[in-house]
Each structure stands twice: as structure tokens, then as C-alpha cells.
Amino acid sequence: MSRSFGLVGLPNAGKSTVFNALTLAGAKVEAYPFCTIAPHHGVAAVPDERLDHLHALFPEKKKVPTTIEVVDIAGLVEGACQGEGLGNQFLAEIRGVEAILHVVRCFGDPDIAHPMGEPDVRRDVAVVEGELLAKDRETLERRRERAAKAARTGDMAAQEEVAFLDRLLAAVNAEEPIRTLHFSAHELPLLRELAPLTSKPVLFVANVGDEGENALSRALAAVAQESGAAGWIVVRGKLEAELGEACSDEGERQAFLREYGLAESALVRLVTEAYRLLSVITFYTVEGPEVRAWTAPAGTRAPDAGAAIHTDFRDRFVLAEVMHLPDLLAAGSERALRETGKIHRAGRDYTVQDGDVIHFISA
């Protein structure tokens, strides 16, 4: 149930640096383009204060946070869609992720080469998005050829598909990412099957130097707001990667972050923004030896949320006992909360809310 993110951006934008900042995994970072030859996968445990508070009520149990998977995808340059650089490998990797983290260089350093000379946020973003659009064009056109052939034999579904593909292609040909279009519930299954790269949610990451926000990161904020269904965060990638390496102790790292005026780590800010962008909620269970956090798409009903834990909780669902975390913390124990009658017995139509603590009961 980990959410997966792929880091994209021009060579030397700071993808591997941001990857390190997020995962503390120590991926190789070098001052040359194309140093990320093999796609690099990392898993980061999501820091979660609510889980910490819940765990404090059950100190004998193990705390299990949610995780995110981050893929540091090899760099791309103009012409990647024709297989230049490491283009095709890049595009294959990116198909597999749920959302894109588009890292944009917002630091100036003459010692670090920029593939086009100087950072220019608007152009740099356009080059990367242009490559994604070009790849979508290729995939959609190929698909359209096939569908058009079937449509000529009178196949109604194929005719509908051609019309749909034409709509997507019109956007792509106008250099508009598919994420800016609106789709009916009826169209979503086909869109999901086609999974165009530019339909994925994008979170722009302004990679700034130690001093924080600057004119480049402010320009990126404007670009992000114009480019549809996308969020943005500012990350001092190099600083946070270095702190991650230097501090083995979480408390020590927090203290350093505060010294730099950062209330939260890049990971926390990223997860907060990404969960919002993906409409993901977090709920909690206290079951057996574990106190555990889970994610689910907003709007998930109790049995489907339960299925993530055990299929019995969906297939043999009886009810869910739902606790409101602040109530549970105020009561101090589950037993005390039960005595106040504030544990809600929810049926199969119950929509799980962010922050719920749930006992699933199956037959």
C-alpha cells in the first residue's frame, strides 16, 4: 500500500540529491549528467505524529508507519523520446509510478553544469514536459491506429475509443498535459488502461540552495499553478541530504532543521502535499502486536479499507468499530473511551475518514 513516486527532471536538477534527502539511502550523487544509470528505488517510512500519539497508548506494541516508494529515474534531455540519452529506459520506469515528482533546478552554481547553460525554470519545465507529451503522442497514435481499424468494421466500442483518443491527442498536440482535462466516470477505466504519462499527478519540487526560497523557486510556483492539477514544494535538497547523512539520530536532525528555520523535513512536506494531491487519507489500526498506519483513497468504504489488512475484513465484514483519535487520546485508553460510549459502530457503507482508528470485525 505504499504510494510510489518517480523523480523526473533535467540532468543535474538535483534528483539524486532530493532522493537522498527523502530516503537517506545514500544514492550516488555526482556533478555529471547521467550518473544515475540504474534506476534507484528507495523506501521511506512516513513520519506521522498522530501514529506516535496513538502508539504512546500502546507502548508494548510495535509501531508500523506507512511508507512511500521513491524511484530516482535516470536523467532526460531534449530528444529523450527518440531514445537519445537514457530516454527510453526513463520512460519505461515512469510508467510504473503513481505520481511524478518533477525536480527543477532552482540553485545557481557555476561548478554544476546545466544541460542548456543556465537555469530557466519555465524553459526547463517545458523541456521535460515536452518529452513526456511526445511519448504520450507516440503511444496514443499507435493505439488509435489499432482502434481505427476495428472501428471500420463497425465495432461501436472501438469507435468510442477513437473519439476518446482524438480528444487526448488534441490536448497533447496543443502541448497540454492530459492531467488538465476532465473525464467522466465512464471514461476513467480506459484512461487508466492507457495510463498516459501526462495524466499522472505532478508535484513540482523546487530544489533550492541552503538559503531557501529565491526568484527561481518563486517562478516555479507560478508555473506549477498554471499547469493544472499540480502542487509544489520547496526543498533544500543538498542541505537535507547532508543532514540525513550526518545525523544518525532523528532528534539531532530535527534540531538542525529548526536551526535552518525548517519546521518539518522535506519528507514530511512532500508526503503532506502528495497525499493531498492524490486524495489519500491515513487511518490506523491497533491489532495483535502492532499499532499501524494505513493509506487509502479518500472515499473508501470500511470493507475496502479493511481488505488492505485482510481480505476477510471485506469478504466477511460484519462491522467496524471506529474511534476518533482525539477522543481516544483524551480518554487515555480504549477501555475508558468505550465507557463514554464514543466508539462508533459503523456498517459497510461507512466512508473511512482521515485519522480514524478502526477495529474491523469479520464473521
Ligand X SMILES: Nc1nc2c(ncn2[C@@H]2O[C@H](COP(=O)(O)OP(=O)(O)O)[C@@H](O)[C@H]2O)c(=O)[nH]1
Cβ-based nearer residue to ligand X, 143 or 238 = 238
Cβ-based nearer residue to Mg ion, 208 or 357 = 208
Of residues 199-238, which lie at the interface with ligand X (CB under 6 A)?
A: 207-209, 237-238
Examine residue 75 and tell whether it contacts ligand X (CB under 6 A). yes
Run of H or E residues at 148? helix 121-152
282: partner contacted, choices Mg ion, ligand X, none (Cβ within 5-8 A by kind): none
Examine residue 12 and tell whether it contacts ligand X (CB under 6 A). yes
Cβ-based nearer residue to ligand X, 35 or 247 = 35
| Residues 258, 181: Cα–Cα separation, whole Å | 40
Examine residue 22 and tell whether it contacts ligand X (CB under 6 A). no
Examine residue 102 and tell whether it contacts ligand X (CB under 6 A). no
Q: Using alpha carbons, select from 5, 34, 39, 38 the residue that is nearest to residue 22.
A: 5
| Residues 9, 267: Cα–Cα separation, whole Å | 18
Minimal distance, residue 72 CB to ligand X, in Å: 7
Cα–Cα distances in Å, from 51 out to 48, 267, 355? 5, 16, 9
Examine residue 207 and tell whether it contacts Mg ion (CB under 5 A). no
Examine residue 31 and tell whether it contacts ligand X (CB under 6 A). yes
Residue 140 burial by Cβ neighbours in a 10 Å radius (0-12, 13-18, 19+): buried
How many residues in the chain?
363
Examine residue 109 and tell whether it contacts ligand X (CB under 6 A). yes
Examine residue 112 and tell whether it contacts ligand X (CB under 6 A). yes
Examine residue 16 and tell whether it contacts Mg ion (CB under 5 A). yes
Minimal distance, residue 356 CB to ligand X, in Å: 38
262: partner contacted, choices ligand X, Mg ion, none (Cβ within 5-8 A by kind): none
# chain residues binding Mg ion, by CB under 5 A: 3
Examine residue 36 and tell whether it contacts Mg ion (CB under 5 A). yes
Cβ-based nearer residue to ligand X, 235 or 346 = 235
- For the record, the C-alpha cell of 211 comes out as 538559503
Q: Do 111 and 137 contact (CB within 8 A), yes or no?
A: no
How far from the centroid of its chain's Cα atoms is residue 110's Cα?
31
Among 3, 5, 6, 17, binds ligand X (CB under 6 A): 17
Cβ-based nearer residue to Mg ion, 48 or 131 = 131
Cα–Cα distances in Å, from 162 out to 105, 146, 171, 351? 39, 9, 14, 36
Please identify, among the stretches 85-93, 106-114, 252-260, 265-273, the one whose residues bind ligand X according to the rule CB under 6 A. 106-114
Minimal distance, residue 350 CB to ligand X, in Å: 44
Q: C-alpha angle with apex 309: 268 to 343, nearest 5 degrees? A: 85
Report which DSSP code applies to 298.
T
Amino acid code (one letter) for 278:
L
13: partner contacted, choices ligand X, Mg ion, none (Cβ within 5-8 A by kind): ligand X
Judged by DSSP in three states, 196 sits in coil
Q: Using alpha carbons, select from 237, 200, 206 the residue that is nearest to residue 222.
A: 206
Minimal distance, residue 32 CB to ligand X, in Å: 8
Report which DSSP code applies to 351.
B
Q: Do 198 and 148 contact (CB within 8 A), yes or no?
A: no
| Residues 183, 119: Cα–Cα separation, whole Å | 35
Minimal distance, residue 261 CB to ligand X, in Å: 16
Residues forming contacts to Mg ion in the complex (CB under 5 A) are: 15-16, 36
Q: Which positions touch ligand X (CB under 6 A)? A: 9, 11-17, 29-31, 35-36, 75, 107, 109, 112, 207-209, 237-238
